[in-house]
A = this chain, B = another copy of it.
Amino acid sequence: MQTWEAITARRNVRSFTDQPVSSEDLHRILEAGRRSPSSRNLQPWDFVVVTDRAQLQELSTVWVGAGHVAGAATAIALVIGPAEEPGHRDEFDLGQATMAMMVTAADAGIGSAHSAVGDQDLARRLLGLPADRTCAYLISLGYPADRPLAPISRPNRRPFDEVVHWGHW
Contacts and interface: CB of A to CB of B under 8 A. Distances in A.
A92 B138 CA distance: 13
Contacts of A51: 167
B127 A168 contact: yes
Interface residues of A, number: 65
Interface in A90-129: 91-100, 103-104, 106-107, 116, 127-129
A86 interface: no
B163 A107 contact: no
B12 A169 contact: no
Contacts of A18: none
Interface in A10-45: 12, 28, 30-37, 41, 43, 45
Contacts of A163: 30, 33-34, 43, 45-47
